[in-house]
Structure 1
Amino acid sequence: MSMKEMLLRVPSILMLGAIYVAYVLIGGVIFWKLEGDLGEKDISLLLLNKNRLLTRYTCLNQEGLEAVAQVVQEASKAGLSLKGNYTSDGFWKFTSSALFAATVVTTIGYGNMSPSSTAAQIFCVFFAVFGIPLNMVVLNRVGKYMLAIERNICDFLEGRTGGWRCTRFFVHLVSYLSGAVLFFVVPMIVFQLHEGWTFSQAIYYCFITLSTIGFGDFVADSNPDKVYPDWYSILMAWWIFFGLAWLALVVNHSIDILERLNSHFKERWGGQKQQAESGGAGVDNPDTVEEEDGIKKPPITP
């Protein structure tokens, strides 16, 4: 790429950067307005409950309350239930450990469980270093395979319908809707039944997981007060893998649409600019004369 081409691309880069920054700031303002007041109310309610707790249990002082909170936090991190006198397997059983490994290589990182021993932390680093690129390669290959299937279906239907122009649009639309049902609607129902979440919480968890944002406020297969079947973690691992591949395909399609729109507006704007420049260049030069046949020739000097 020459220096001139690089300079021509600078304004578009600055415009995209400005749009990106504005988008993030607008999102921050909206989150601030939606959650700011609720956060202050939650803090006030927590302080009120703390004072009520200290008043009710006179033998519990500030130091004792902090000790209880420490026990609760450690039990929550280990996946142990404080209800009743029974013990559970905690987070680090085989199925949950395999699911944790999947969240590492997919960079979801809920944060509800993490290795605590030095050996496990060092292994996690090397496991992620080689696992993340491997996961990206495999997801890319699976996404290309899914895209190839869509294209073959489009070619087949176009051959049957005589090249109907809307065939590809309807094939992509059906693919999007099928993926949304398979990776969002069905898991939403499963999570609502097994986790006790509302449908809005379940669909929120599905998107936060498959987009690899992974806040960790909602995590399936992590409630210590519930007994999950072994197939539940395995099904979740498969759902995460193929859901990531499908969502990556959707994101690639969206990027392609945005790039095409950008190219369309750029060509349109560039064509108008070129037409304006050519129109300006077409003004008659006073140093020329026009013959009857319409051909411009230089003036005859005496």
Structure 2
Amino acid sequence: MRAMMRLKDVCLVRLPSILLLGLVYLTYVLIGGVIFWNLEGDLGQKDMGLLLQSKERLLTTYTCLNQEGLEAVAQVVQDASKVGLSLRGNHTTDGFWKFTSSAVFAATVVTTIGYGNMSPSSTAGQIFCVFFALFGIPLNMVVLNRVGKYMLVIERNISDFLEGKTGRRTCTRFFVHLVSFLSGAALFFIMPMLVFQQHEGWTYSQAIYYCFITLSTIGFGDFVADNNPDKEYPEWYSILMASWIFFGLAWLALLINHSIDILERLNTHIKQRWGGQQLEGESGSGKRDNPDTQVEEDEIQKPPITQ
């Protein structure tokens, strides 16, 4: 009974914090929607107007082409884009389903990126994709989590080594975190940006945008590397892409975990400052009843991975 009362008190204390986080989250999403609406809304209407003008110009130029013929041509173009067929000139490509591009597609499935530029069309392929993702997504999360932990262990070992040499904990850890962030940004954003600009013909801003959308697993599909049927890509290009996606996901996941930790600490600071009071008996064994405190203590007491 006493334990139930204590748990009830903890829930009552945490309720305002949950409501505050929910309010911040909702406000953040709504503000983002308003900004996207203002940035893209007028442009979308303008693009629709230009497309309608192009359609009328096309029907006027090619008088033998009526509305039904235009729809048939559009369907051919759409089907060709789905299979990676080039409509320029008299040559054809191997399409999307080569071994290298198929391997990259499998990687986008288990990483949940899902560009949408290619997808299985056969019944057997669709059924296999379901089971492949069902077991592949958890396996991918476990592997990425382990790789991210190894990255974190390397970072901590370097930090501990430099701390032993300098004797300055705060400055050393800040310096190591900064170098780690800059190195990761150069390796997973700057260098791929240059490669994509060279082989895809994108602008630098488009390449950076594609890097983040891919590594964050958002995967809109508006920009997809190794996807243009009118370009000849080297064989190493797909292998490099798959390696970049795998290690980049692990690095960005580690960075996002750091951001989550910062937000959790900020939430704890705000709750302590504006809450005004804590539970009675929270000291000693009572701290273990607070889920936030328990998680923080577990993270501090957890020894680094050495295997």
Do both share a fold (TM > 0.5)?
yes
Decide which of 230, 237, 242 is 1:232's aligned counterpart: 237
Query: Structure 2 CA distance, aligned partners of 1:272 and 1:12?
Result: 13
Decide which of 107, 111, 114 is 1:106's aligned counterpart: 111
Decide which of 155, 159, 164 is 2:164's aligned counterpart: 159
Aligned partner of 1:24 in structure 2 is: 29
Aligned partner of 2:80 in structure 1 is: 75
Aligned partner of 1:291 in structure 2 is: none
Matched, 1:146 2:168: no
Matched, 1:132 2:143: no
Structure 1 residues 12 and 247: CA distance shift in structure 2, 3 A: same
Is the contact made by 2:112 and 2:217 (CA closer than 8 Å) also made in structure 1? yes
CA displacement at 1:270 relative to structure 2:
4.2
Task: Report the 3-state secondary structure (helix = DSSP H, G, I; strand = E; otherwise coil) of the residue aligned with 1:58.
Answer: coil
Point out where structure 1 has 5 or more consecutive residues left out of the alignment.
275-302
Over residues 44-75 of structure 1, what are the superposed CA-to-partner deviations in whole Å (9 max), with x where a residue is unaligned? 10000000000000000000000000000000
Q: Who wins on radius of gyration, i.e. which is larger? A: 1
Please report the RMSD computed on the Cα atoms of aligned residues, expressed in angstroms. 1.3
Matched, 1:7 2:12: yes
Q: How does 1:261-276 map to 2 (within 5 A)?
A: 261-270=266-275
Query: Structure 2 CA distance, aligned partners of 1:107 and 1:14?
Result: 30
Aligned partner of 2:303 in structure 1 is: none
Point out where structure 2 has 5 or more consecutive residues left out of the alignment.
1-5, 280-307
Aligned partner of 1:281 in structure 2 is: none
Task: Report the 3-state secondary structure (helix = DSSP H, G, I; strand = E; otherwise coil) of the residue aligned with 2:221.
Answer: coil
Q: Name the aligned partner's letter for residue 210 of structure 2.
A: Y
- 93-102 vs 163-172, greater mean Cα deviation: 163-172
Q: Name the aligned partner's letter for residue 92 of structure 2.
A: T
Over residues 94-124 of structure 1, what are the superposed CA-to-partner deviations in whole Å (9 max), with x where a residue is unaligned? 0000000000000000000000000000000
CA displacement at 1:10 relative to structure 2:
1.0
Aligned partner of 2:221 in structure 1 is: 216
Aligned partner of 1:88 in structure 2 is: 93
Query: Structure 1 CA distance, aligned partners of 2:257 and 2:192?
Result: 23
Aligned partner of 2:204 in structure 1 is: 199
Q: How does 1:173-192 map to 2 (within 5 A)?
A: 173-192=178-197
Is the contact made by 2:84 and 2:229 (CA closer than 8 Å) also made in structure 1? yes
CA displacement at 1:148 relative to structure 2:
0.4
Identify the structure with bigger relative contact order (alpha carbons < 8 Å, sequence gap 6+). 2
Decide which of 48, 51, 72 is 1:46's aligned counterpart: 51
Over residues 192-242 of structure 1, what are the superposed CA-to-partner deviations in whole Å (9 max), with x where a residue is unaligned? 000000000000000000000000000000000001111100100000000
Is the contact made by 2:226 and 2:233 (CA closer than 8 Å) also made in structure 1? yes
TM-score by length of 2: 0.87
